[in-house]
C-alpha cells in the first residue's frame, strides 16, 4: 500500500502539464470554487470508458464483484495480465476497440485487503473511447510526503478526499510515524513546515492517496 500526501494551492501557472482538479472534485466546497473563478480554465481530456477486468484468481474476482455489483456486466479475464494479450485483443475486436489506445492499470481493493489480510487486487485494460472538454482548476504543490503515517491514519482520513481546513492537517500530524527515532524530529519538522505552518484556509487543500 503506497501513501502520498499533498498540500496544494490554486495557481495561475496553467499549462499542458499542469495538475488540476475538475470542478466535480471540488463540488463539496462551492465557496472555494467561487473564490477562484478567475483561475478556472478548460482542458481536453480523454475518456476511458471501456474496461476489461483482469483478476489473478477466481477468489479475487468473486470477492471484488460481490462487494461492487456494478462490475458484474464488465468483461473479465483470469490469469497473468502479461500472458493475456490474445484474449484482450479478441474482446477489443468484438467491441470495435482494437485500434484504440489501451492502458493497463492496477487497482488494490483496500477494504478487502484489510479484511482478508492479503492484497486483493485486479488489473484493468481500459480503452480510449473519445475526448471531452472540461473545466478545471490548476494547482501547484506546496508540500509533499511519501508514506510516514501510522495505520490509524487510514481510518481517520479518506482516500482521495479533499480537506480544506487547517484543523484536518493538524489532525493528520498526530498520525506521523517516522522511520526511526533518529529521524523523528526531522519528520515532524518536515510535516509542520510543508503542511501545517504554510496552510492557508481558503487557498490550501490537503489530501492523501493510497
Confidence bin at 72 (pLDDT 50/70/90) = confident
Instruction: Tell me the pTM.
Output: 0.69
Q: Are residues 54 and 124 in the same domain?
A: yes
pLDDT per position as a tens digit, 9-39? 999 876 655 799 999 999 999 999 999 999 9
Residues 38 and 59 in one domain: no
Residue range(s) defining the domain that contains residue 11: 4-46+134-209
Say how many Å lie between the first and final Cα of the chain, rounded. 6
- Judgement on whether residues 53 and 32 belong to the same structural domain of the protein: no
Instruction: Classify burial at 24, counting beta carbons within 10 Å of its beta carbon; exposed 0-12, middle 13-18, buried 19 or more.
Output: exposed
Per-residue model confidence (pLDDT) at position 181: 79
User: Please, which pLDDT band fits residue 104 given cuts at 50, 70 and 90?
Assistant: very high
pLDDT tens across 166-177, in order?
999 999 999 999
Say if residue 108 is in the same domain as residue 159: no
Domain count, the chain: 2
**9 and 107 belong to one structural domain:** no
Residue 117, CA distances (Å) to 50, 88, 91, 112, 114 in order: 31, 30, 33, 8, 5
Instruction: Tell me the average pLDDT of the chain.
Output: 93
Amino acid 141: pLDDT = 95
Alpha-carbon torsion, ordered 73, 77, 81, 85, to 10 deg = -100
Query: 54 and 38 share a domain?
Result: no
Q: Note whether 58 and 101 are same-domain residues.
A: yes
Domain boundary among 111, 128, 145: 128
Amino acid at each position: 500500500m503506497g501513501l502520498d500526501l499533498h498540500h496544494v494551492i490554486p495557481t495561475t501557472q496553467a499549462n499542458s502539464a499542469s495538475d488540476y482538479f475538475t470542478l466535480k472534485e471540488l463540488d463539496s466546497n462551492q465557496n472555494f470554487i467561487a473564490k477562484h473563478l478567475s483561475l478556472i480554465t478548460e482542458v481536453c481530456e480523454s475518456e476511458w470508458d471501456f474496461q476489461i477486468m483482469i483478476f489473478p484468481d477466481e477468489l479475487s474476482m468473486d470477492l471484488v464483484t460481490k462487494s461492487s455489483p456494478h462490475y458484474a456486466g464488465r468483461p473479465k479475464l483470469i490469469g497473468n495480465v502479461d500472458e493475456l494479450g490474445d484474449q484482450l485483443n479478441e474482446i477489443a475486436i468484438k467491441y470495435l476497440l482494437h485500434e484504440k489506445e489501451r492502458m493497463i492499470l492496477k487497482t488494490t481493493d483496500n477494504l478487502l485487503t484489510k479484511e482478508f489480510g492479503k492484497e486483493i487486487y485486479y488489473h484493468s485494460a481500459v480503452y480510449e473511447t473519445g475526448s471531452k472538454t472540461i473545466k478545471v482548476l490548476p494547482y501547484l504543490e506546496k508540500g509533499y510526503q511519501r508514506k510516514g503515517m501510522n495505520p490509524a491514519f487510514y481510518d481517520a482520513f479518506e482516500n482521495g478526499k479533499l480537506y480544506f481546513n487547517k484543523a484536518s492537517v493538524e489532525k493528520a500530524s498526530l498520525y506521523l510515524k517516522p522511520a526511526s527515532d533518529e529521524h523523528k524530529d526531522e519528520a515532524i519538522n518536515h510535516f509542520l513546515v510543508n503542511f501545517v505552518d504554510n496552510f492557508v484556509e481558503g487557498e490550501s487543500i490537503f489530501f492523501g492517496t493510497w
